[in-house]
Amino acid sequence: PQPIYLADYTPPNWLVEEVSLTFVLDPRATRVRSTIRFTPNPATTSRDFFLHGEQLKLIRAAIDGAGITPELVDGGLKAEVPGTAFTWESEVEISPQTNTALEGLYMSNGMYCTQCEAEGFRRITFYPDRPDVMAPFKVRIEGDLPVLLSNGNPTGSGDGWAEWHDPWPKPAYLFALVAGELIAREDSFTTMSGKEVDLKLWVRPGDEGKTAFGMEALKASMKWDEQVYGREYDLDIFQIVAVSDFNMGAMENKGLNIFNTSAVLASSKTSTDANFERIEAIIAHEYFHNWTGNRITCRDWFQLSLKEGLTVFRDQQFSGDMRSKAVCRINDVIALRGRQFREDNGPLAHQVQPDSFVEINNFYTATIYEKGAELIGMMKTLVGEEEYYKALDLYFTRHDGEAATIEDWVRVFEDSTGRDLTQFRRWYKQAGTPRLKVMEDFKDGTYTLHFEQETPPTPGQDKKQPQHIPIAVGLIGPNGDEVVPTRVLEMTETKQSFTFDGLGAKPTPSILRHFSAPVIVQRDSSPAERAFLLAHDTDPFNKWEAGRTLAKDVLIAMVTGEDAPLSNYLEALAVMLRDDSLDPAFRALALGLPGQDDLAQTLFDAGVTPDPQKIHRAGETLKQATAEHLHDLLPRLSAEMEVNAPFKPNAEQAGKRALGLELLKLTNRMDGGAAAQALYDKADNMTHRLGALGCLLDVEKGADALADFRSRFDGDALVMDKWFAMQVAHAAPEKAADVTATLTQDPAFNWKNPNRFRAVFGALAMNQAGFHHVSGKAYALTADWLIKLDPVNHQIAARMTTAFETWRRYDADRQDMITSALRRILATDGLSRDSQEMVRRMLG
């Protein structure tokens, strides 16, 4: 497979003035008729004509009414066309029923639906399937189904047909069609200019009871985007459809968002607090795309982070406003470190704006999304709140209706604020996570912080240049008072020092507050200092970070056999837990330990080959010590976390449940599962039920609860996904592969469903000690199943190969086992382009 290069971009020869599509639905022989008005692009001179098309059976084609026979070529067709505007018509046949890749038009439980981003529209009809070709769409759907939906506003319907018109020019990747037996929760929203918008959330009969939360989240998102960004919705209707078979979370199709059921259906009995929070964020994310993605789209797929980084940043802001800002930020950083740092420090590291790719579906990554969002956050920190929103206003007025670039985005900031962002642009073009070394000295009332930055090499980029890093810093005096409030230091050199004058005594620095840049801070500091910051830092992120770093020091010392500062950690933790002024959600996060993957990377950075078993054991030892140390505190604190009110999925109740469950995990180590069983038996919500089940599995007393859980939820696919995932996630390291293998034989292991496949194999990859167990069984099992999945669903198969992405960290035996698993995948006949690219990049 040949790579595509950003440098080769050329504008399209032909633009589309208008598209009309007619679908005559049939499971194995859907007919798609298109009428497309093409006009020459004045920006180009070539009039060569090429349309993308894959897996289409061409029935007929015509230009200006006269039948033609186009030349079918790899990936599409070519035709002789006039030199001026003309009308193209074609009719093709496609087979949604046999489309297991879930890309283009496919069927899920008897319902038709589409996924076109990035390049799925070419599986529906012949078209210039590139985001810089934007057009208004008219759609007619004929089919023997009660609900027939497409983008835009409804313009007519009757028995077995419906018509839609989307007046906003859009690229083909935002096209959507849904047809099926569906019912809607209906509501409405009045926009800031007084326009009434119909809201419909479509689900299959039986799921109506799980739509209330999603609808509220949608209305809150619409309001928030008006209040914070001044963005109003622009059609008469906004619809969401829930689909069971879907490759990702959701899709922002214009006016007709399509959602994985897991990202929209919610009820207290079937969804955890974490599910509610994720659903709220995804609904917001897709809605926010209406401006950042749809009204202003991407010129080409190298610009993907233009819409994704910005939209993630916006949904993170939204969640912070809906819930606790501090807790949301901490969770976002945990996720960034867990997924993006892992990616950025391995063979799959790539730029936020890549220079080339083989398969664009492989680039919907944590780097494009989450690191992209961090870059926006840094720009906001650098220019300040007010200037940020001014720049955004300019972005929306200057580029509305366009297919824009990341360069356009940065230039808007320069033009609006007058700042030179030349060096900042490196963040988009340089892969890898910068390491930031910090040293200090204090003399005659002057405190100096010395910083040194270095970004390790990444594939294809050996030499790195210094980044422009905003470092938010505050200083705490010896008595615990803040002596210098947060100040943003701008580091632009490889080595740079900053001084603070007029201090009476040597302060303790609080560095990288709010996690002001996506870097790894390296600073030797004493356990006493970390405990001091945990107690006194006024920045909630760094307060949490201090505890986390202390825990990390303990774990690393346990693994490497050095003296662990255990008592500093346990005492600081006890003080923090008893502090009622702290949000329970925050305390729950402070009780959590750094991820095993994070520890492995830290050890590797320090020149130690990580042993996943030892890392796992260190975690167990520390949790046991914590349980024993906090023993007396647990009953009282647990009682305080009881919620004596009807279930609400809000931040306040969720925080209490989160801390309650963290405490239960500790109690569980002391009472052999008694409290967990009691909670399971009386649970009236999924957060408690699942938390209790996890504890029971941890002490190997989960058999009855598992059987009970299954009988309660057998017919609910989303809950059964949890049933599968929990068993793998809580399996002991030496059993994880066998437990997984057994589950794959379960009649309910419907492996062609992405949610079910991910529930099992995603959980195995995340069970670090189980996945990397010396037997190598988990590696082999994962490879077997990826080989089986690839011809059915190449996107999911390719995505899940990332389970292996950290292989270079490990010892020779594990490296051999992983690389032979990867080579076995690569040697598979007919392996998809997606998986080939991933495996090749990993093997390097």
- The least distance separating Zn ion from the CB of residue 282, rounded to whole angstroms, comes to 9
Does 364 bind ligand B3K (CB under 6 A)? Our answer is yes
Give the pairing type, strands 469-476 and 508-511.
Answer: antiparallel
Exposed, middle or buried: residue 501 (CB in 10 Å: 0-12, 13-18, 19+)?
exposed
247-286 residues in contact with ligand B3K (CB under 6 A) are 248, 250-252, 285-286
- The least distance separating ligand B3K from the CB of residue 78, rounded to whole angstroms, comes to 27
Cα–Cα distance measured from residue 797 to residue 810, given in angstroms and rounded to the nearest whole number: 23
- The least distance separating ligand B3K from the CB of residue 192, rounded to whole angstroms, comes to 24
CA dihedral 76, 81, 87, 93 (to 10 degrees): -30
250 or 651: CB nearest ligand B3K: 250
Binding at 248: pick from ligand B3K, Zn ion, none (beta carbon under 5-8 Å per type): ligand B3K
- The least distance separating ligand B3K from the CB of residue 15, rounded to whole angstroms, comes to 23
- Write the binding mask 300 to 319 for ligand B3K: x where contact by CB under 6 A, - elsewhere: --------x-----------
> What H or E segment, with its residue span, contains residue 837?
helix 833-843
Q: How many residues bind ligand B3K (CB under 6 A)?
A: 12
251 or 349: CB nearest ligand B3K: 251
Give yes or no for a contact between 551 and 589, defined as CB atoms under 8 angstroms apart.
no
Does 818 bind ligand B3K (CB under 6 A)? Our answer is no
Q: Tokens 């009970």 correspond to what residue?
A: 708
Angle made by CA atoms 258, 282, 390, in degrees to the nearest 5: 115
CA dist 762 → 40, 317, 797, 817, 841 (Å): 48, 28, 11, 19, 20
Give yes or no for a contact between 585 and 660, defined as CB atoms under 8 angstroms apart.
no
- The least distance separating ligand B3K from the CB of residue 42, rounded to whole angstroms, comes to 30
Helix/strand/coil (H/E/C) assignment for every residue in 749-782: CCCCCHHHHHHHHHHHHHCHHHHCCCCCHHHHHH
Cα–Cα distance measured from residue 473 to residue 512, given in angstroms and rounded to the nearest whole number: 6
Cα–Cα distance measured from residue 28 to residue 168, given in angstroms and rounded to the nearest whole number: 31
111 or 282: CB nearest Zn ion: 282
The residue at minimum Cβ distance from ligand B3K is 117
CA dist 696 → 631, 681, 705, 720 (Å): 19, 12, 8, 17
544-573 residues in contact with ligand B3K (CB under 6 A) are none
Binding at 713: pick from Zn ion, ligand B3K, none (beta carbon under 5-8 Å per type): none
Give yes or no for a contact between 352 and 386, defined as CB atoms under 8 angstroms apart.
no
- The least distance separating ligand B3K from the CB of residue 312, rounded to whole angstroms, comes to 8
Binding at 251: pick from Zn ion, ligand B3K, none (beta carbon under 5-8 Å per type): ligand B3K
For 456-470, b/e burial (b = at least 16 CB within 10 A) is bebeebeebebbbbb
79-118 residues in contact with ligand B3K (CB under 6 A) are 117-118
- The least distance separating ligand B3K from the CB of residue 589, rounded to whole angstroms, comes to 26
Helix/strand/coil (H/E/C) assignment for every residue in 93-130: EECHHHCCCCCEEEEECCEEEEECCCCCHHHCCCECCC
- The least distance separating ligand B3K from the CB of residue 173, rounded to whole angstroms, comes to 8
Binding at 469: pick from ligand B3K, Zn ion, none (beta carbon under 5-8 Å per type): none
30 or 294: CB nearest Zn ion: 294
Binding at 118: pick from Zn ion, ligand B3K, none (beta carbon under 5-8 Å per type): ligand B3K
Binding at 721: pick from Zn ion, ligand B3K, none (beta carbon under 5-8 Å per type): none
Give yes or no for a contact between 297 and 404, defined as CB atoms under 8 angstroms apart.
yes
Binding at 696: pick from ligand B3K, Zn ion, none (beta carbon under 5-8 Å per type): none
392 or 736: CB nearest Zn ion: 392
Cα–Cα distance measured from residue 355 to residue 659, given in angstroms and rounded to the nearest whole number: 45
Binding at 364: pick from ligand B3K, Zn ion, none (beta carbon under 5-8 Å per type): ligand B3K
Give yes or no for a contact between 659 and 587, defined as CB atoms under 8 angstroms apart.
yes
Which one of 151, 353, 361, 455 is in contact with ligand B3K (CB under 6 A)?
361
Q: How many residues bind Zn ion (CB under 5 A)?
A: 2
**Nearest residue to 718 (alpha-carbon basis) of 679, 767, 754:** 754
Q: Tokens 């819930």 correspond to what residue?
A: 323
248 or 589: CB nearest ligand B3K: 248
Exposed, middle or buried: residue 26 (CB in 10 Å: 0-12, 13-18, 19+)?
middle
Sheet arrangement for strand 111-115: 104-108, 111-115, 177-180, 147-150
305-324 residues in contact with Zn ion (CB under 5 A) are 308, 311
Catalytic site residue from 163, 277, 286, 359 = 286
Instruction: Judge whether 286 counts as a catalytic residue.
Output: yes
259 or 447: CB nearest ligand B3K: 259
293 or 346: CB nearest ligand B3K: 293
340 or 361: CB nearest ligand B3K: 361
Cα–Cα distance measured from residue 587 to residue 657, given in angstroms and rounded to the nearest whole number: 11
Cα–Cα distance measured from residue 771 to residue 749, given in angstroms and rounded to the nearest whole number: 20
Phi and psi angles of residue 80, each rounded to the nearest 5 degrees, phi first? -80, 125
CA dihedral 404, 408, 412, 414 (to 10 degrees): 170
Considering only the stretches 245-253, 271-279, 660-668, 826-834, report the one whose residues sit in contact with ligand B3K under the rule CB under 6 A: 245-253
CA dihedral 526, 521, 466, 597 (to 10 degrees): 140
Q: How many residues does the chain have?
A: 844
For 594-619, b/e burial (b = at least 16 CB within 10 A) is bbbbbbbbbbbeeeeebbbebbbebb
311 or 319: CB nearest Zn ion: 311
Considering only the stretches 246-254, 388-396, 410-418, 778-786, report the one whose residues sit in contact with ligand B3K under the rule CB under 6 A: 246-254
- The least distance separating ligand B3K from the CB of residue 534, rounded to whole angstroms, comes to 36
Angle made by CA atoms 388, 485, 505, in degrees to the nearest 5: 155
- The least distance separating ligand B3K from the CB of residue 301, rounded to whole angstroms, comes to 10
Q: Which residues have C-beta within 8 Å of that of residue 784, sequence separation ≥ 6? A: none
- The least distance separating ligand B3K from the CB of residue 308, rounded to whole angstroms, comes to 5
- The least distance separating Zn ion from the CB of residue 363, rounded to whole angstroms, comes to 13
Considering only the stretches 169-177, 302-310, 649-657, 818-826, report the one whose residues sit in contact with Zn ion under the rule CB under 5 A: 302-310
Q: Tokens 């093409």 correspond to what residue?
A: 38
Number of H helices, E strands in the chain: 29, 31
- The least distance separating ligand B3K from the CB of residue 762, rounded to whole angstroms, comes to 17
Question: Tokens at residue 382, please?
Answer: 């650098």
Which residues bind to ligand B3K, rule: CB under 6 A? 117-118, 248, 250-252, 285-286, 289, 308, 361, 364
Q: Which residues bind Zn ion (CB under 5 A)?
A: 308, 311
Q: What residues act catalytically?
A: 286
